[in-house]
Amino acid sequence: MSMQSFTPALGRVAPARFFDFVVALTRERLWRALAAMYVAPQPGDTIADVGCGTGSLALLLSRVEPSARIVGVDPDPEVLAVARRKAAPEAGVQWCVGMGDALVDSLGADSVDTVVSSLVLHQCPLPMKRAVLASMFAVLKPGGRLVIADYGLQRTTLMRLVFRIVQLADGKEDTQPNADGALPGLMSDAGFRDVREAEVVSTVSGSISVYVARKD
């Protein structure tokens, strides 16, 4: 995948500088807090936030555990510029331009204790979802943890209806596998174990699930 072919943070709807405003409408504080809880950063951990966007989750993790090494990876220099402006001088976050399917190039194999990602995979075509998950697996240390917060199975008529907002922005072909509940199976196919949907948060644009898994 080329650096020019990724889907921008807000798809076709708006420039990246509006991302934080739009995401705030999705009960962001709740699902980000739940994701951080499952990441459970420890002193000395290396944590990669893949598709970090404007850096909200990476900065939250840095506040939770200031002695952890947080690396925010995103292919979009525009959103990384927003992340850098948001970060306090003392924030221990490293910002890195890189693709989710080439994490070994950015981070190194077997180098990361936890990979976390939010609102990324629903934007990817199915082959890219698989490639990103394989890349996440490759950079995790044995025993490492994966935490994904993203649109998952849309269980109710209402959630399926409001999820059309996301599909308008990011395209039905890429987003439908998430809505059909494909992510846990894709995570297992990538080699992850103990895959489970740990939380489900209903929002104005569909339900966001927090998935957790580990690498043996």
Give per-residue pLDDT as tens, 10-32. Answer: 545 545 556 666 676 678 999 99
- 163 in the Ramachandran plot: left (φ > 0), alpha (ψ -120 to 50) or beta? alpha
What percentage of the chain has pLDDT greater than the value 90? 81
Whether residue 10 lies inside any domain: the answer is no
* 54 neighbors 22 (Cβ within 8 angstroms): no
Whether residue 71 lies inside any domain: the answer is yes
Whether residue 7 lies inside any domain: the answer is no
* 177 neighbors 123 (Cβ within 8 angstroms): no
**Residue 26: per-residue pLDDT:** 76
Host domain of residue 122: 16-214
**Tally of CA atoms within 13 A in the half-sphere of 56 that contains its CB:** 15
Number of domains in the chain: 1
pLDDT in tens, 38-65: 999 999 999 999 999 999 999 999 999 9
**Residue 3: per-residue pLDDT:** 44
**Residue 87: per-residue pLDDT:** 83
E strands, the chain, are 46-50, 69-74, 93-97, 112-118, 140-151, 193-203, 206-214
Q: From the CB of residue 12, how many other CB atoms can be counted at a distance below 10 Å? A: 10
Spatial separation of the C-alpha atoms in residues 121 and 54, rounded to whole Å: 16
Spatial separation of the C-alpha atoms in residues 194 and 170, rounded to whole Å: 29
Q: Which helix (H) or strand (E) element contains residue 207?
A: strand 206-214
Average confidence (pLDDT) per 10 residues, the chain, 216 residues: 50 55 77 97 97 95 95 94 84 91 96 97 97 98 98 98 95 97 98 98 96 98
Q: From the CB of residue 127, how many other CB atoms can be counted at a distance below 10 Å? A: 10
CATH, residue 55: 3.40.50.150
CA angle 182, 119, 17 (to 5 degrees): 155
Strand partners of residue 207: 202
The pairing of strands 193-203 and 206-214 is antiparallel
Whether residue 2 lies inside any domain: the answer is no
**Residue 197: per-residue pLDDT:** 98
Average pLDDT along the chain: 91
Residue identified by tokens 């080329």 is 2
* 209 neighbors 153 (Cβ within 8 angstroms): yes
Whether residue 8 lies inside any domain: the answer is no
Spatial separation of the C-alpha atoms in residues 158 and 109, rounded to whole Å: 42
Residue 118 phi, psi dihedral angles, 5° rounding: -135, 135
pTM, whole model, 2 decimals?
Answer: 0.90
**Residue 18: per-residue pLDDT:** 61
Residue 144, CA distances (Å) to 48, 76, 183 in order: 11, 26, 19
**Residue 98: per-residue pLDDT:** 96
**Residue 37: per-residue pLDDT:** 98
Whether residue 136 lies inside any domain: the answer is yes
Whether residue 20 lies inside any domain: the answer is yes
Whether residue 103 lies inside any domain: the answer is yes
